[in-house]
Every structure is written in structure tokens, then in C-alpha cells.
């Protein structure tokens, strides 16, 4: 037997007619006209080789063959309805899945405190696993399905197969120790900025960041003391040193709140604001669970007041 030659929609017709035992009510429930229902019943009778339902004074009466088929058809229709309910219905939050998020260490610290309680309360079967994005778009992982979502501020020129949503934008500032001997309590101008040694966050090992490219355009360069693979560690290395750290404002504000020795200065050169985005593959665009996760991230990042840092180091 070749299932391709069968009309599986007829199982639904059989199921409803068997339940209703009345052609008019069955047609209404199936949103069919009486002639259309009669046509489908004729096909069903032909496929099964049996009349299945015969006219009676008060509607339709199932044949013995129909009574024999009814439990099997009921189970099949129930399984199909449950399948579509799970995939399209409101119970997608009951799914047991692992969702993979590629991002940065600072995002883990600032986003997850607001996101994880929502996951545990509304989707307790979901386990969120984060991965370091390492300064690059995880394109292969998105395409293969090992990455459900990527969040950063350095994803540009995306292929057509990827979708994106802007979460927020953020500017750069300079984090310095109050005891930095090059500042002496004065404003941080370009001359003092260049007199200091600098710490740099680099997720790829490249020491030529946004600041360096902007300085190079003016024929200038700064001295790099160290390049670190973390957004969090450099803020702790500035204390009681002559180092400067150019970083996103939210990174600097969190560090300054934690350590009274640190102070924030305006960056003495112009840099474009960072646009932090979440990126996903088109194949997961309509998935209700992943769509819900993206909505939660958008809400958490909005309510946090631009607390998420996701750009490569300046």
C-alpha cells in the first residue's frame, strides 16, 4: 500500500461523522457544505470498501466496519491534533529543550539575572546554555542549529538567511583610577589620554580596536599594555594604576558602582555608538518557543536600561 495515494483528511471526516451520527451537524463542524461532505464520504467509502454510514430515521448509523475502525481513527486523529497543538498551541512553554545563546561574559552577568527567573517560572523545562561568541558571528552554528540566538554589538553585513532585532545602542566612555598620576584630578583630554597605557578587551586577539582605528585616521596611536579576552576583568585591573580602559558606558557604570576608586570620563575622540542586536536563523523565526525567548530578552534589555554590553573591545 502506498500512503501517498491516501487522503488523510478523510480520517478527520470519518471521526466527526462517527461522533455526530448526523450529516448536517458533521458538515457544520467540518465547515463543509452538504454536497462537499457527501463527496468526501463517497471517497471514504471507496477507500475502505464499506458503506461505513447508512441512513437511519434520526441520522446516520455506523456499519460494523465503521465500529471496528472507530477506535483506531480516534487515536490517530487525537495524535495528529496533539502534534499540532504542541507545535502551534500555547503549551510550547512546557517543552523540554536546551536553547543555546552565543554572547559575552558581561551579557551573562547583566541579562541573565532578569531572564533566568522568567525561564524558570514560565518554561521550567527549558535549559539555557551560553557560549562565548569570541568576537565573531557564529554563522555556521546558526545554520547548523547548534546556536539558537546570538547577541552582540559587532554583527554587521548579515546574510539574507539571518534575522535581527535591535535591542539598544550605547556609547563609549573611559574608566580610570582616581589616583591615575596622568590625570591629577583634571579633565581627560586627548593629550592625557595618549600619555597613559591602555587596557583593551579583545575577543579575537586583535589589538587594533575601534579606538585605534579612529586614532590612526588622525595620525595618532596609543600604547596598549594588555589585551584581555573578558569585558569584566579589565575593569578590575584599572584600580590604583595609570591604566585607562575605553569601554561601553554600562560596563563602566557597573564597575564604578562597585569600586569607589574608579571614575568615568568622556572619551576624547568621537566613536559611533554600538548597536546591540540579537540574531537568529530564519528556520527558527516562527518557532513559538524561540520567538518567546527573543521577546523576553527584548523586554529584559529594555527594562534594564541598556545594561547589556555586547560589542568587541574598543
- Mean pLDDT, the chain, rounded, equals 88
| 141 phi, psi to nearest 5 deg | -65, -40
* H or E element in which residue 149 lies: strand 149-152
Split at pLDDT 50, 70, 90, the class of 308 is very low
- Provide the 10 A C-beta neighbour count for residue 255: 21
Domain 172-266 annotated CATH 2.40.160.40: no
Q: Which range, of 51-55, 80-84, 270-274, averages the lowest pLDDT?
A: 80-84
Distance CA 149, CA 163 (A): 10
Higher-pLDDT residue of 29 and 173 is: 173
Q: Which residues pair with 172 in a beta bridge?
A: 248
pLDDT of residue 129: 95
Q: In the structure grid, which three cell numbers stand for residue 220, read together?
A: 595618532
Across 234-254, average pLDDT:
92
pLDDT tens digits for 108-132? Answer: 887 899 999 999 999 999 999 999 9
| 167 phi, psi to nearest 5 deg | -95, -45
Across 132-152, average pLDDT:
91
CATH of domain 3-88: 1.10.10.10
Name 63's Cβ contacts closer than 8 Å, sequence gap at least 6.
50, 51, 52, 53, 54
pLDDT of residue 62: 92
pLDDT tens digits for 178-220? Answer: 999 988 777 899 999 999 999 998 888 888 989 999 999 999 9
Q: Which fold has domain 95-170+274-303?
A: D-Maltodextrin-Binding Protein; domain 2 (3.40.190)
Q: Where, residue-wise, is CATH 3.40.190.10 in the chain?
A: 95-170+274-303, 172-266
- Judged against a pLDDT cut of 80, whether residue 1 lies above it is answered with no
Q: Which range, of 53-67, 87-101, 161-175, 294-308, averages the lowest pLDDT?
A: 294-308
- Judged against a pLDDT cut of 70, whether residue 260 lies above it is answered with yes
Distance CA 309, CA 314 (A): 12
Higher-pLDDT residue of 165 and 312 is: 165
- Judged against a pLDDT cut of 80, whether residue 309 lies above it is answered with no
Q: Which residues pair with 97 in a beta bridge?
A: 126
Q: In the structure grid, which three cell numbers stand for residue 309, read together?
A: 554590553
- Judged against a pLDDT cut of 50, whether residue 222 lies above it is answered with yes
pLDDT of residue 57: 84
Split at pLDDT 50, 70, 90, the class of 52 is very high
Distance CA 109, CA 307 (A): 10
Residue (of 7, 287, 302, 312) closest to 126 by Cα position = 287
pLDDT of residue 223: 96
Q: Is the pTM of this model over 0.85?
A: no
Q: In the structure grid, which three cell numbers stand for residue 265, read together?
A: 570620563
pLDDT tens digits for 63-112? Answer: 999 999 999 998 998 888 777 766 655 678 888 999 999 998 888 887 89
Q: Check: CB of residue 114 under 8 Å from CB of residue 307.
A: no
DSSP state of 56: E
Q: Where, residue-wise, is CATH 1.10.10.10 in the chain?
A: 3-88
pLDDT of residue 231: 83
Which residues of the chain form beta strands (DSSP E)?
Answer: 53-56, 59-62, 97-103, 126-132, 149-152, 162-170, 172-177, 197-201, 223-228, 243-248, 262-266, 274-281
Q: Which of 76-80, 110-114, 159-163, 223-227 has the highest mean pLDDT?
A: 223-227
Across 233-242, average pLDDT:
92
Split at pLDDT 50, 70, 90, the class of 59 is confident
Amino acid at each position: 500500500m502506498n500512503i501517498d495515494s491516501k487522503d488523510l483528511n478523510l480520517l478527520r471526516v470519518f471521526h466527526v461523522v462517527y461522533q455526530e451520527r448526523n450529516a448536517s451537524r458533521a458538515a457544520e463542524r467540518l465547515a463543509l457544505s452538504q454536497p462537499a461532505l457527501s463527496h468526501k464520504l463517497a471517497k471514504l467509502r471507496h477507500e475502505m470498501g464499506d458503506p461505513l454510514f447508512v441512513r437511519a430515521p434520526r441520522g446516520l448509523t455506523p456499519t460494523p466496519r465503521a465500529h471496528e475502525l472507530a477506535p483506531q481513527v480516534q487515536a490517530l486523529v487525537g495524535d495528529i491534533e496533539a502534534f499540532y497543538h504542541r507545535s502551534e498551541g500555547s503549551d510550547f512553554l512546557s517543552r523540554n529543550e536546551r536553547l543555546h545563546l552565543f554572547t559575552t561574559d558581561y551579557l551573562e552577568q547583566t541579562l541573565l539575572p532578569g531572564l533566568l527567573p522568567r525561564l524558570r517560572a514560565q518554561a521550567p523545562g527549558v535549559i539555557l546554555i551560553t557560549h562565548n561568541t569570541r568576537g565573531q558571528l557564529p554563522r555556521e552554528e546558526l545554520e547548523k542549529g547548534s546556536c539558537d540566538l546570538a547577541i552582540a554589538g559587532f554583527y554587521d553585513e548579515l546574510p539574507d538567511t539571518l534575522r535581527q532585532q535591535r535591542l539598544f545602542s550605547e556609547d563609549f566612555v573611559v574608566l580610570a583610577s582616581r589616583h591615575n598620576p596622568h590625570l591629577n584630578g583634571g579633565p581627560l583630554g586627548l593629550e592625557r589620554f595618549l600619555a597613559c597605557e591602555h587596557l583593551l578587551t579583545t575577543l579575537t586577539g586583535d589589538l587594533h580596536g575601534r579606538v585605534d582605528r579612529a586614532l590612526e585616521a588622525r595620525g595618532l596611536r596609543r600604547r596598549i599594555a594588555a589585551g584581555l579576552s573578558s569585558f569584566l576583568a579589565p575593569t578590575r585591573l584599572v584600580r590604583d594604576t595609570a591604566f585607562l580602559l575605553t569601554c561601553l558606558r554600562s560596563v563602566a557604570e557597573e564597575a564604578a558602582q562597585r569600586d569607589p576608586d574608579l571614575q568615568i570620563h568622556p572619551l576624547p575622540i568621537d566613536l559611533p555608538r554600538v548597536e546591540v542586536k540579537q540574531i537568529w536563523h530564519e528556520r527558527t523565526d516562527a518557532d513559538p518557543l524561540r520567538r518567546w525567548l527573543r521577546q523576553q530578552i527584548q523586554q529584559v534589555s529594555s527594562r534594564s536600561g541598556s545594561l547589556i554590553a555586547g560589542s568587541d573591545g574598543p
